[in-house]
Structure 1
Amino acid sequence: MTIRPLYDANASAGGKDLGDLPEWDLTDLYPDPDSADLKRDLDWLEEACRSFATDYEGRLGALDAAGFLELVQRHERIESVAGRIMSFAGLRYYQQTTDPQRAKFLSDMQERITDCTTPLVFFSLEMNRLDDGFLDGLFAADADLARYKPAFDRIRAMKPYQLSDEMERFLHDMGVVGDAWERLFDETIAGLTFTVDGAELNLEGTLTLLTEQERPKREAAAREVARVLGGNIRTFARVHNTQTKEKEILDRWRGMPSPQTGRHLSNDVEPEVVQALRDAVVAAYPRLSHRYYELKRKWLGLDVMQVWDRNAPLPLEETRTVGWDEARETVMTAYSGFDPRMAEIARPFFDRGWIDAAVKPGKAPGAFAHPTVTDVHPYIMLNYLGKPRDVMTLAHELGHGVHQVLASDQGEMLSSTPLTLAETASVFGEMLTFQRMLDHARNDAERKVLLAGKVEDMINTVVRQIAFYDFECKLHEARRGGEMTPDDINALWMSVQAESLGPAFAFMEGYETFWAYIPHFVHAPFYVYAYAFGDGLVNALYAVYEESPEGFRDK
């Protein structure tokens, strides 16, 4: 069992003298890896899974509504305990992915949870053999049970692709092997060292230099990223080849018509909707990214832009560092301005050790909000270094956190959200924060900088993520034809980058390797289109809010 965090598409960092940055206090999960509470829960989980299978395997069709409700509640309790254990192990690991002891603890917990939960594999398989009419009758007989219907619908969506009971148990047990390849990726990324102007940096610190005002510094950072990724490209190619081949085998055995089918099912979205989204965005490249970057090329006074200019600040932009206290105040004021209740839900994240903000050696890159389980609370990870865009990342992840707190009342089976909707609160939080900053801009130049930054964030969230989606589609399709060399993967990457960024750009040698550090491709194939989906949805919602704010907050 692995609980995946939600990573932010636009996480960035930069700056110094940030004040006191918060660090996670994971004791709300467990005091430490050797705690008696953890041992007790592991022992309880093993017995609970065994007794669940003894009591229910082969009997689902004989249960009445009350019996089925008891089954669901017992299953939720098992999910909660297993999720608590894996959240603790995972979050400790994300803090220091290069620590062998933390990696071992995570691996040990994954294997232990997998062993414990193997007896539960029958549950979804047997659920999918039940007649629709039988389930409808149970829902009609008990309103408390009927509220779980959406969770059952998600389970039953996999019915056409279900394998034999024995094969499903085998795949369940084999899951830890795929997890090991993901850990190899994480540990490789976290262990990379980059040297720019004599300073040794990790990936986060190096990528943030791409937002510096001095162009030579941006170029040096980009070339160093290319050098280091190029030196490790065979490892990254091996990870991607293995992961995509594993997925191809699973999809083939399940009879899934495309590599994207599993993601569409989990997102509860029709393939035609995703294709329409993709086609609309690609058709708009000339009007969106191509047009904007041509404007930016002129603003920067360049004949042609390079990849290190994509996220460059405008010449009139002030170089400033946003301290942690200012970032907190900015976001909390924006949230409170929308509704004080939103700010009150967000406040404990700052006060109780629910945010880990500082950049540290070995820490996982990027940013995410981890829901953990519904009887604890979410945790937010940042790599905060004081860029104005880091403030937006805080607003984004805090939106996830508020959403996850509110959803926790639904229980384990109903609190999770399809990725297509999971970005709603987070992007809405960004919009609130951006609008507050825009309203308080001191002059036209500051407004221009803010608007340009927002346009770039939206391009990164929509255009860039759809280009990522196209890259993944091409990668998985090409892998079906055989092993891919690093050069093969590089060529796929460049084909979508040139198309999405447009004629304002030239591409330095080495940029073809930049696919290698994107975690979504490894951890969650085809995740990325959800960012574009969510951004479009939030823009529509925000327009409704601006037109008719009365009553919107309570909806």
Structure 2
Amino acid sequence: MEWKLERIFANDEAAIENARVHLEEVKRIANEIERETAPQQLAKLIRDFEEHMDEFAKSIQYAWMKYSVDTGSVESQKVLGIIQQLSSELQEQDAIVEVKLASLSDDVLEEIIKLDGNYEHMIKRIIERRKHLLSKDAEQVLALTSVSRRDGIAKIHSRLQSSYTFEMELNGEKKVLTVEEIKALRRSTNGELRKQAMKLFLERFQDDAIVLTEVYNLVVRDYDTESRLRRFPRPISMMNFANEVSDEIVDRLIEVTNEKTEILRRYYDWKSKILGERLTLADIYAPISNKKKEFSFEEAKDIILESYYAFDEKAGSVVESFFKEERIDLYPRKGKVSGAYCIYATTKLPPYVLTNFTNDMYDVMTLAHELGHGLHGSLSRKQTFFNHDTPLTLAELASVFGEFLVFDNLKNKLSKEEKMALIASKIEDIFATTFRQNMFTNFEIRAHDLASKNGYVGWDELNNIYHEELERVFGNVVEIPEWYNNEWASIPHIYETPFYVYAYNFAQCLVIALYQEYLEEGKAFVGKYLELLESGGRYSPEKLLEKVGIDLRKEGFWENAFKFVDGLVEELVAMEKQ
């Protein structure tokens, strides 16, 4: 199954023309907003401005989708480059409007909210952002240069990694593997193959150490400079503000996760005994059974749909539409980006999902995860463009919740051995989204601090920081091969969106709390949950979470999530003893 991009635009020229037409309208309306003072007319102009921004975003979604499935194509690069350039002009107009609205009195802004309640959250955020806004000219410069600053620079990393191929002998036959295909071998039942694959993969980054180090330093300097210009106390504070969450809440999440690494170490100590060998980092995702369970795409589809339909008919129908309408680009191929994602840049188009499916149990969960995003993006289309997306802290909510639905369904269909393998895989997935993402966050904080202090951070320094963070998490339970110190260079988010990764940890802990509520309340919970997803980003995260009874400031909130994880480990250990 592959995307049919012609359903969005007939060709690249049509996508570019759409962007240009709506950009001109955005410029015209922004000019009128600058001159307007009457609340009633401003409310109307904001609605028109939003509508054309939404239409423009169709071209953004098309360009990124085309690039994602063929990063090496000159045509893909050209259309993305043109749309990004036009997007920087769009961001300039957005900055002009934001500076104008921020300059208005609170009375005028409150009057606009009374005229159209859709803009309550947006306007309250503008009031909060006043202290971080620069002058109109400075905001325009930042917007116009965004295409050649960190967003553009990070593409070098993406293109470089997508171009990597690896020659390996598999089952007596030489094969050329993509990034996703070689990473999938981490879950092989063959220990030597796992180590060989990860060594080959991670040593490849050493070959491009100069480029990767320079690119990372440019991204860090650009991000940190902007955070200082906007008067944030620390680099991570700029992301926290964008996520509408306080520094204190994020700091507490990081602190608690650092304190709970004993859960992970106890699990891997148990796993090493089960496998009868001292584990290396290349083995942390190794199956605990030599009987590797594989799933065809049809089997994965059936399990996922059954899980979502059992939760709610409407949710199941939305998820099924991705399969019926072929809005999933499923299999890996050369030039396709690694990993998986769901894109919904506009309310004018339905969400689309990209995966690199290789028939693994992990791939079933990945597909369930991305379709959870798809459910969220589909339901939030009822909101206006400015309200349909959420901050990163809530962006992973529906995806991780969807994984739990599929996990609980799937484990009831398996033998004891297969069930143990699934629970082990789930524990490792949770570790990957909590301890591992927290490790990346610790790495980023230290790397940004060192770059700020010394003006530059070298490849060896970055490797040393990463090694120390690996030791902080795994202790001496797992052996850390030297080539694993390069792994930081393979992480797209630290290049593309600094400090993004803690959102995964945040969401995992949040969803554990939500899922426990669902298990307690049953169908009474479903309506509240779907209403939360339908709300998109219309309200602050705090207000949205009130709908389902969640208080992030409650004493012990983060600790309770790790008690749940600890319980899964205990369940698995007990099953093995039976």
TM-score for the superposition, normalised by structure 1: 0.91
Matched ranges for 1:291-302 at <5 A: 291-302=266-277
Whole-angstrom distance in 2 between the partners of 1:113 and 1:363: 23
Equivalent residue for 2:227, pick from 242, 251, 271: 251
Whole-angstrom distance in 1 between the partners of 2:522 and 2:480: 45
Equivalent residue for 2:447, pick from 470, 475, 493: 475
2:194 alignment partner in structure 1: 218
Deviations 1:216-245 (A, max 9, x none): 101110110122111112211111011001
Shift of 1:370: 0.4
1:452 alignment partner in structure 2: 424
**Contact between 2:280 and 2:480, CA under 8 Å: does it hold in 1?**
yes
**Contact between 1:49 and 1:117, CA under 8 Å: does it hold in 2?**
no
**Contact between 2:162 and 2:335, CA under 8 Å: does it hold in 1?**
yes
1:289 alignment partner in structure 2: 264
* Residue 411 (structure 2) pairs with residue 411 (structure 1): no
Which structure has the higher relative contact order (CA within 8 Å, separation 6+)?
1
Range with greater deviation from structure 2 (277-286 or 75-84): 75-84
Counterpart amino acid of 2:502? Y
The secondary structure found in structure 1 opposite 2:161 is: helix
Deviations 1:53-102 (A, max 9, x none): 3312142xx222x3232122112112112211111111100011111221
Shift of 1:40: 4.4
**Contact between 2:67 and 2:80, CA under 8 Å: does it hold in 1?**
yes
Whole-angstrom distance in 1 between the partners of 2:338 and 2:476: 30
Equivalent residue for 1:162, pick from 115, 121, 133: 133
Whole-angstrom distance in 2 between the partners of 1:119 and 1:342: 37
Whole-angstrom distance in 2 between the partners of 1:220 and 1:235: 25
* Residue 28 (structure 2) pairs with residue 54 (structure 1): no
* Residue 240 (structure 2) pairs with residue 268 (structure 1): no
The secondary structure found in structure 1 opposite 2:12 is: coil
Whole-angstrom distance in 2 between the partners of 1:267 and 1:116: 22
Shift of 1:116: 5.0
* Residue 173 (structure 2) pairs with residue 194 (structure 1): no
Residues 67 and 336 from structure 1, CA distance in 2 versus in 1: closer, same or farther, beyond 3 angstroms?
Answer: same
**Contact between 1:26 and 1:88, CA under 8 Å: does it hold in 2?**
yes
How many residues are treated as equivalent by the alignment?
522
Whole-angstrom distance in 2 between the partners of 1:355 and 1:550: 29
1:63 alignment partner in structure 2: 38
Whole-angstrom distance in 1 between the partners of 2:27 and 2:521: 54
Equivalent residue for 2:179, pick from 200, 203, 212: 203
2:82 alignment partner in structure 1: 108
2:56 alignment partner in structure 1: 82
Whole-angstrom distance in 1 between the partners of 2:524 and 2:94: 44
**Contact between 2:16 and 2:59, CA under 8 Å: does it hold in 1?**
no
Shift of 1:186: 1.0
Whole-angstrom distance in 1 between the partners of 2:34 and 2:521: 52
TM-score for the superposition, normalised by structure 2: 0.88
2:284 alignment partner in structure 1: 310
Shift of 1:507: 1.3
Counterpart amino acid of 1:166? D
The secondary structure found in structure 2 opposite 1:128 is: helix
Whole-angstrom distance in 2 between the partners of 1:538 and 1:119: 37
Whole-angstrom distance in 2 between the partners of 1:23 and 1:337: 27
**Contact between 1:244 and 1:476, CA under 8 Å: does it hold in 2?**
yes
**Contact between 2:96 and 2:136, CA under 8 Å: does it hold in 1?**
yes
Matched ranges for 1:220-235 at <5 A: 220-235=196-211
1:176 alignment partner in structure 2: 147
The secondary structure found in structure 1 opposite 2:234 is: coil
Whole-angstrom distance in 2 between the partners of 1:211 and 1:491: 27
**Contact between 2:16 and 2:82, CA under 8 Å: does it hold in 1?**
no
Counterpart amino acid of 2:12? P
**Contact between 1:222 and 1:308, CA under 8 Å: does it hold in 2?**
yes
Range with greater deviation from structure 2 (66-75 or 81-90): 66-75
Deviations 1:335-363 (A, max 9, x none): 01111111101112111121101101010
Counterpart amino acid of 1:27? E
1:506 alignment partner in structure 2: 479
Residues 117 and 492 from structure 1, CA distance in 2 versus in 1: closer, same or farther, beyond 3 angstroms?
Answer: closer
Shift of 1:324: 0.5
Whole-angstrom distance in 1 between the partners of 2:167 and 2:451: 34
**Contact between 2:19 and 2:83, CA under 8 Å: does it hold in 1?**
no
The secondary structure found in structure 1 opposite 2:292 is: coil
* Residue 357 (structure 2) pairs with residue 380 (structure 1): no
Residues 237 and 122 from structure 1, CA distance in 2 versus in 1: closer, same or farther, beyond 3 angstroms?
Answer: same
Residues 113 and 451 from structure 1, CA distance in 2 versus in 1: closer, same or farther, beyond 3 angstroms?
Answer: closer
Equivalent residue for 2:329, pick from 327, 340, 356: 356
Give % identity.
27
**Contact between 1:317 and 1:446, CA under 8 Å: does it hold in 2?**
no
Whole-angstrom distance in 2 between the partners of 1:210 and 1:23: 26
Deviations 1:201-221 (A, max 9, x none): 111111111110011101110
Whole-angstrom distance in 2 between the partners of 1:549 and 1:370: 30
**Contact between 1:307 and 1:506, CA under 8 Å: does it hold in 2?**
yes
Counterpart amino acid of 2:11? D
**Contact between 1:462 and 1:532, CA under 8 Å: does it hold in 2?**
yes
Whole-angstrom distance in 2 between the partners of 1:138 and 1:86: 29
Matched ranges for 1:523-542 at <5 A: 523-542=496-515
**Contact between 2:91 and 2:144, CA under 8 Å: does it hold in 1?**
no
1:322 alignment partner in structure 2: 295
The secondary structure found in structure 2 opposite 1:57 is: helix
**Contact between 2:30 and 2:49, CA under 8 Å: does it hold in 1?**
no
* Residue 4 (structure 2) pairs with residue 30 (structure 1): no
1:92 alignment partner in structure 2: 66
Counterpart amino acid of 2:349? V
Q: Which aligned segments of 4 or more residues in structure 1 are displaced greater than 4 angstroms? A: none
Consecutive unaligned residues of structure 1, counting only runs of 5 or more, are 1-21
Range with greater deviation from structure 2 (260-269 or 125-134): 125-134
**Contact between 2:341 and 2:355, CA under 8 Å: does it hold in 1?**
yes
Whole-angstrom distance in 1 between the partners of 2:474 and 2:485: 14
Range with greater deviation from structure 2 (196-205 or 391-400): 196-205
Whole-angstrom distance in 1 between the partners of 2:339 and 2:176: 18
Whole-angstrom distance in 1 between the partners of 2:90 and 2:484: 45
Equivalent residue for 2:318, pick from 342, 345, 364: 345
**Contact between 1:396 and 1:430, CA under 8 Å: does it hold in 2?**
yes
CA RMSD of aligned residues (A): 1.4
1:277 alignment partner in structure 2: 253
Counterpart amino acid of 1:196? M
2:369 alignment partner in structure 1: 396
Residues 372 and 29 from structure 1, CA distance in 2 versus in 1: closer, same or farther, beyond 3 angstroms?
Answer: farther
**Contact between 1:392 and 1:430, CA under 8 Å: does it hold in 2?**
yes
Whole-angstrom distance in 2 between the partners of 1:39 and 1:369: 22
**Contact between 2:342 and 2:354, CA under 8 Å: does it hold in 1?**
yes
**Contact between 2:203 and 2:486, CA under 8 Å: does it hold in 1?**
no
Whole-angstrom distance in 2 between the partners of 1:547 and 1:158: 39
1:18 alignment partner in structure 2: none
The secondary structure found in structure 2 opposite 1:158 is: helix
Shift of 1:117: 5.1
Shift of 1:459: 0.7
Whole-angstrom distance in 2 between the partners of 1:39 and 1:491: 45
